[in-house]
Structure 1
Amino acid sequence: MSDSTAALGQAKYQVRFDWGVDGARRIRSGAHVVVLVDAVLATTQAVLAAERGETFALAEGGAPDAASAETAELVRELAGHDVVVLAASLRNREAVARRILALQEARGERVFVAVVAAGERAAAGEGDAHAPATGIRFAIEDQLTAGAVIDALVRLGIDHTSPEAAVACASFEGLKHAAVHLIGAAGTGAGLAAEGRKDEVRQATQRDVTDVVPVLRGGVFGA
């Protein structure tokens, strides 16, 4: 591994942060746990399913269990690796941190954590469904929720964070009192509300309301 590759992979840090499939590939090397964040849609829905005692399988498109294309690809990518994959939402971010601390205590050594925000694939032409993808849109709901998870880890003493993870954490710390409004007013939340799906946004902004932590097994999330 070259020095530049190691730097982009945040290899020396216990808690790392990046975006999308490419980001997951960069920071998963040596990680014991990947925390996946698709805050308004997939990972919140996975948490809600676990609260009901159900499993959650991702599907792209408009179905109730739908995910962004990036999240669906992330799950396919991560399912093939020997790593614990947890679904995180604001609803369970404290529980996710406690689960990681418990894994670390069980191992008796430091657990390395890759926090991956899914974001959304951006298209070249606004409003043009056939426009080619140009990269990841850095959705603020994913930024804030990933930062919230990192904040919870830091408060439990898992605090050897990369600069990237520290910035995500600081974004949540600085904006946590406005997070509900910001997530609801940002592009994804506002778009869902316009489709009559405001309840999904509301559920995604409820903080620390459950202890369930969905784990990816065989491509399906379950508690």
Structure 2
Amino acid sequence: MNSLGAAGRQSQHTVRFDWGSSGARAVAEGVDVAVVVDVLSFCTTLSVAADRGTVVLPCPPSASDAPTYAAQRQAVLAVDRHRAGPGQVSLSPGSLRRADPIDRLVLPSPNGSALSIELASLATTVVGACLRNAVAVGDWIAREHDAEIATIAVVAAGERWPDDSLRPAVEDLWGAGAVLAALEDHDWPGLSPEAAMAADAYRLIAGREASHLRASASGAELIELGFGEDIDVAAEVGSSTVVPLLSDRGFVVAP
């Protein structure tokens, strides 16, 4: 069934939710605010960077000129998580916390980073959200936009199967749902059934985020690979009040 008509785009609703690149093209074109959610780990690392005042430049990992791109912008290029040595920054949020202060960081990621770039071509404003700052993102949207006219798209990045197809990742459903639940707490109208479902999914696990993250497929994989620390950081629910806003300079702290 072709879902690119008005119904598939959820265009009858002002607050929408979908997955990945195809979902972004369906629900985020022309919206006032698009929220990218990649809990493990792009948006969590992004929130840690924003807390430290670091400007993050999104970059897909397939970009062959990433080193040149970083050098031209006098930015540090994050290395592959599995190849990071002592003091090097990677997609792992813990590596950023241990690093010396960084002014600008190029952060490659096949999901959240690539999706951020795509959303920038579709929406007026793009912000990054995870469990650490979901309430802050919801509060910022409610403070800076008119609930009667603003259109919002929350897009979960998901992960990739070996054939490069989208694997919906439950941690991103929870992260997106946390943003949408925060909007509901502001009595924000117009949520699509898909958006309301995501909010309900988060409310079901609220207060138990850490254990659910560790038990999820993505969490279990990170633990097996020795990156359990990433889950600990991702589970710092509500610890950040900073909203990363994508600008011409990269992700900066929203006013």
1:49 aligned partner, one-letter code: A
Partner residue in 2 for 1:57 = 57
What is the Cα deviation at residue 68 of structure 1?
4.1
Q: Percent identity?
A: 34
Distance in 2 between the 1:218 and 1:24 partners?
Answer: 20
Task: Normalising by structure 1, report the TM-score.
Answer: 0.87
Q: CA, structure 1 residues 20+82, in 2 after alignment: closer, same or farther (shift >3 Å)?
A: closer
Distance in 2 between the 1:4 and 1:82 partners?
Answer: 17
What is the Cα deviation at residue 58 of structure 1?
3.1
What is the Cα deviation at residue 70 of structure 1?
3.0
Task: Normalising by structure 2, report the TM-score.
Answer: 0.76
Secondary structure at 1:77 match in 2: helix
Secondary structure at 1:86 match in 2: strand
Secondary structure at 2:202 match in 1: helix
1:169 has 2:199 as partner: yes
1:77 has 2:118 as partner: yes
CA contact (8 A) 1:41 1:67 kept: no
CA contact (8 A) 2:25 2:122 kept: no
Partner residue in 2 for 1:111 = 150
Secondary structure at 2:23 match in 1: helix
Structure 2 gap segments, 5+ residues each: 62-78, 82-89, 92-106
Q: CA, structure 1 residues 96+145, in 2 after alignment: closer, same or farther (shift >3 Å)?
A: same
Partner residue in 2 for 1:141 = 171
1:200 has 2:242 as partner: no
Secondary structure at 2:22 match in 1: helix
Secondary structure at 2:221 match in 1: helix
Runs of 4+ in 1 over 6 A off after TM superposition: none
Q: CA RMSD in A?
A: 2.1
Q: Deviation per CA, 1:130-189, whole angstroms, max 9, x where unpaired?
A: xx32x2111110011111110000101213210111111111111223322111121211
Structure 1 gap segments, 5+ residues each: 124-131
| Range with greater deviation from structure 2 (55-64 or 77-86) | 55-64
Q: How many residues align?
A: 211
1:44 has 2:62 as partner: no
